[in-house]
Amino acid sequence: MKDNQALIVVDVQKDFLETGALPVKEGSQVVPVINRIIPKFKNVVFTQDWHPQGHISFASSHPGIAPYSTIDVSYGKQVLWPEHCVQNTSGAEFAEGLNTENGDCFVKKGAHSDIDSYSAFLEADRKTKTDLGVWLRSQGITEVFVCGLATDFCVSWTALDAADEGLRVSVIEDASRGIDVNGSLEGARAAWKKRGIKRIDSSEIN
């Protein structure tokens, strides 16, 4: 791959695997695919959900409201999730066997207790930025390949925000797995098409 290209591996953490607190079906199957393509990139980014206890996105922070319900918060609609990826817990750790040794940039997101964050670039209030955009520009990156968990949430939001940063974007679908809540996967793919984001297979990466 070229020096101006980067791989962004999104939230491949224990709590998103099949036995985790917020399981993604077949989540562990992305690990060998991602490990196979990491050596093809000079620039590799890993992101982690990194929530404090009592995070606004946890159903347990809103007594009487069931997980997967939606509530209104200051920045709009918020899906309430089971507690997951709590800071400094085993569930927040990277998946067993994921090769993170060659990571060049590590982004922790969702660390503010009152703001959720799906995207690796911008939190859900659409104002609070991570350092990822600045880091990519400092490395001369103009094209990114996004994969991980889950396709229709954190991977998709990251891909869309990468496009907003003016980057060329591809989503590596066989290195990602989705949740698909109420048609969310189809909706994500439709949004990518509108933004010129490519859908590719890892076999297309040389």
Is the dihedral angle over the CA atoms 195, 206, 26, 6 positive or is it negative? negative
Indicate if 40 belongs to the active site.
no
8 Å CB contact between 84 and 16: yes
Indicate if 161 belongs to the active site.
no
Indicate if 85 belongs to the active site.
no
Q: 19: which residues sit within 8 A by CB, 6+ positions away? A: none
Catalytic residue among 14, 85, 109, 147: 109
- 138 exposure class (CB count in 10 Å sphere: 0-12, 13-18, 19+): exposed
Fill in the amino acid letter for 176: S
Place of tokens 């859908």: 199
Catalytic residue among 14, 147, 154, 161: 154
Catalytic residue among 11, 15, 49, 152: 11
Place of tokens 């069931």: 66
| Beta bridge pairs of residue 176 | 148
3-state secondary structure of 71: strand
| Tokens encoding 135 | 């880091």
Other beta carbons within 10 angstroms of residue 108's beta carbon come to 17
Looking at the annotation, which residues are catalytic? 11, 109, 154
